A = this chain, B = another copy of it.
Amino acid sequence: MNKSALYQLSYGVYVVSTWDKGRATGCTANSAMQITSNPATIAVSINHDNYTNQCIQDTGKFAISILGENTDPGVIGTFGFYSGKDTDKFDKVKPVIKEYMPVVEDACAYIVCEVIDKMETSSHTVFLGKVLDADVLKQDTPMTYAYYHKVIKGTSPKNAPTYQGD
Mark A1-38 against chain B: 1 for CB-CB distance below 8 A, else 0: 11111101111100000000000000000111111111
Residue of B nearest to A123 (CB): B36
In the assembled complex, A76 has its CB within 8 A of some CB on chain B: no
**Cα–Cα distance between A130 and B89 once the two chains are bound (Å):** 34
A39 contact set on B, CB distance < 8 A: 122
Give the size range of A's interface with the partner: 35 or more
- How many protomers of this protein does the assembly include? 2
In the assembled complex, A81 has its CB within 8 A of some CB on chain B: no
Question: Quick one: which of B31, B111, B142 contacts A33, CB cutoff 8 A?
Answer: B31
Query: Is the Cβ of A134 less than 8 Å from the Cβ of B1?
Result: yes
In the assembled complex, A136 has its CB within 8 A of some CB on chain B: yes
Query: Is the Cβ of B110 less than 8 Å from the Cβ of A162?
Result: no
Question: Quick one: which of B3, B35, B136 contacts A2, CB cutoff 8 A?
Answer: B136
Question: Given A41-B121, A142-B8, A144-B144, A134 and B34 touching (CB < 8 A)?
Answer: no
Residue of B nearest to A10 (CB): B12
Question: Given A1-B133, A4-B136, A131-B6, A35 and B124 touching (CB < 8 A)?
Answer: yes
Say how far A114's CB is from chain B's closest CB, in angstroms. Answer: 13
Residue of B nearest to A125 (CB): B35
Interface residues of A in 26-73 (CB under 8 A from B): 30-43, 45, 64, 66
A145 contact set on B, CB distance < 8 A: 10
Residue of B nearest to A158 (CB): B37
